[in-house]
Amino acid sequence: MRTLKSSLIVVAVVATLGLGWLFDQVYAQYSPENSSPDALDVLRQLGENLAKMADKSPSSKALLSNWPNIKQYSLKLQPANESPLPQSLLEQMKRGEAVLLETSKNLSYHYFLPIKDEILILRSPLLNKGANAATHYLWSAAFYLVLISILLLWAYPLVKQLLALRAAARAFGEGKLDNRISLSSISYIHDIEVEFNNMAQRIENLIADVKLLSTAVSHDLRTPLARIRFGIDTLQEVEDLTLRQELELQLGDDVDEMTSLVETLLNYARLEQNRVEIQKEPVNLSELIQTCIKRKKSNNFKLSFINKSSNKLVLVDNKYITMVLNNLLQNAINYGRGHVLVELFHNSHNTIISISDDGDGVPIEQRENIIKPFFRAKNSLNQVKGHGIGLAIVKRILDWHNGTLSISNATELSGSKFTIKLPSQH
C-alpha cells in the first residue's frame, strides 16, 4: 500500500505541476501572440504619436484628411466639451493618459490634445479576440487530455493487478486451493498480494491438517473404542474377581489413551488457531540447551553437547523454544540407540541448532511427511507410543519465529539429524 500511495502522489504532482510548467514553456515559445509585440501596445503608441502630431499641427483637420480611408481603422477629432465621456475619464486624459474603450465591434483609444482642447479618437477592430480565445481553449483541451492520459497509464497496472487479485480470490473460493498470485516487486498492491498468498497458504495448510486430523481421529480412536467395547462385553460375562480387576485396568488404560489423544488434538488445534502470544526476549540458547539436557539425562543413553557459539543472546520465546528442544531431544532418545549429539553455532544470518541420533534415520521419502501431524516414520526401532504430533508442533513454533526445520543424515552418528535455523536477532 505504501507503493500505491507514493506513486499516486508522484503522478499527481508531476502531472499537474510538471505538465503546467511544460505547457507554459511551449505556449510562450510557439504562441503567435507571444512571439510578436503586443498589438494593443502598438496601437496605443501609434495613437500617442498621432495625437502629438495633431496637437502641434497648424491644421489638425488637414493632417487627418491624409489618413488612409481604411474601414477597420479610423481617426476622429472631437471638441473636449462635446465628449460624452464621464468627467473622471476626461481628467485621466488631461493627465496625459490614454483611455481605452471597447464595444462588441471595435476598440477605441481616446487622447486629449491640450493645445487645441480636442480629443483624438483612434478606432480599430477587436484584434482577433475570437482567434485568441479559440487558441486558449485548444491549449486547455490539450493539457487536460495529456493529464487524463497520464492518469490512465498509471491506473492501468493497478486495475490489472486488482482484476488478477479478484480472479485469484474467485478461483480460491471455487476450491482451487493451490491458486496463487504472481508477485512483482513493482506492484502497487504488493503487500496485499503477499498477504493474500500467505492467507491462501495458511488456509490450504489448515484444510490439509483438518483432513489429517479426521483421519487420525477415525483411525486412532477406533482402536481404543473397539477395545473398550470388547472389554465391557467381556466384563459382563466374567465372574472371577481377579480377571475382572485386570479387565478394569485395561479399560482404564484405554480410556487414558483416548483422553491423551483428545488432549493432543485440542493442543494442536490451539496451536493451529494461533491462540498464543509469542513474547520474544533475549535468551542464552547455550544455557537453555544444557538445562534441557540435564532434565533428560539418564544412565540408559548418552547426551553430548558441542557449543561452537560465543554465548550470544537470541530473541526468542523461551517457553516455546524450550518445548521445541524437549520434543526434538525426546524424539532422538526414542528413535536412537543410546547416543544423542547436540550442536550449537552461529553464522552471519542464523543461529543453528542440530540434534543427531544413532538410530536408523528417516528415509528420504518420509522426511516431508514426518513433520505433518499424526504421521509416524516406520523403522525397526519404532516401538514408541505416541500420536505423531511432536514434530508438527515443532514446525509450527519455528514458523512463529521465522525459523526452519530440516532433516538429513547425521554425519557424526549413524542416524538422523534435525537442524533448526533461527534468525540471528541478537
The residues with which 406 forms a beta bridge, in sequence order, are 419
Mark whether 334 and 402 lie in a shared domain.
yes
Q: What is the dihedral of CA 30, 34, 35, 39, to 10 degrees?
A: 150
Backbone angles phi, psi at 383, to 5 degrees: -115, 15
**Which long-range contacts (C-beta less than 8 Å, at least 24 apart) are formed by 39-44?**
39/127, 40/100, 40/107, 40/127, 43/107, 43/109, 43/122, 43/124, 43/127, 44/98, 44/100, 44/109
346, part of any domain: yes
Contact 288, 318 (CB under 8 A): yes
| Structural domain for 22, as ranges | 2-35
The answer for residues whose C-beta is within 8 angstroms of residue 110's C-beta and 6 or more apart is: 83, 85, 89, 93, 98, 99, 100, 101, 119, 120, 121
Q: How far is CA 132 from CA 25, 44, 72, 126, 142, in A?
A: 17, 20, 19, 11, 15
Cα gap 274→6, rounded to integer Å: 34
140, part of any domain: no
Mark whether 99 and 87 lie in a shared domain.
yes
Mark whether 292 and 417 lie in a shared domain.
yes
Low-confidence ranges of the chain (pLDDT < 50): 34-36, 130-131, 380-382
344-376 residue pLDDT tens = 988 888 899 999 998 888 888 888 878 876 666
What local confidence, expressed as pLDDT, does residue 352 receive? 92
355, part of any domain: yes
Contact 227, 250 (CB under 8 A): yes
pTM to 2 decimals? Answer: 0.49
Strand order, beta sheet including 118-124: 74-79, 118-124, 107-113, 99-102
Mark whether 43 and 31 lie in a shared domain.
no
Backbone angles phi, psi at 139, to 5 degrees: -65, -40
Cα gap 399→306, rounded to integer Å: 25
Burial of 130 (0-12, 13-18, 19+ CB in 10 A): exposed
298, part of any domain: yes
Mark whether 285 and 386 lie in a shared domain.
yes
Of 295, 229, 238, nearest in space to 258 by CA? 229
What local confidence, expressed as pLDDT, does residue 264 receive? 67
What local confidence, expressed as pLDDT, does residue 413 receive? 84
Q: Which helix (H) or strand (E) holds 349?
A: none
Q: How many domains does the chain have?
A: 4
Contact 188, 162 (CB under 8 A): no
133, part of any domain: no
CATH code assigned at 376 = 3.30.565.10
166, part of any domain: no
The residues with which 14 forms a beta bridge, in sequence order, are none
What local confidence, expressed as pLDDT, does residue 83 receive? 85
Burial of 78 (0-12, 13-18, 19+ CB in 10 A): middle
Mark whether 335 and 397 lie in a shared domain.
yes
Mark whether 262 and 384 lie in a shared domain.
no
192, part of any domain: no
Count helices and strands in the chain by DSSP H and E runs: 13, 11
386, part of any domain: yes
What local confidence, expressed as pLDDT, does residue 380 receive? 43
Query: What would the grid cell of residue 112 be?
Result: 486629449
> For the chain, what is the largest distance between any 2 Cα atoms, rounded to a whole number of angstroms?
158
Contact 91, 78 (CB under 8 A): no
Query: What would the grid cell of residue 123 be?
Result: 478606432
What local confidence, expressed as pLDDT, does residue 381 receive? 46
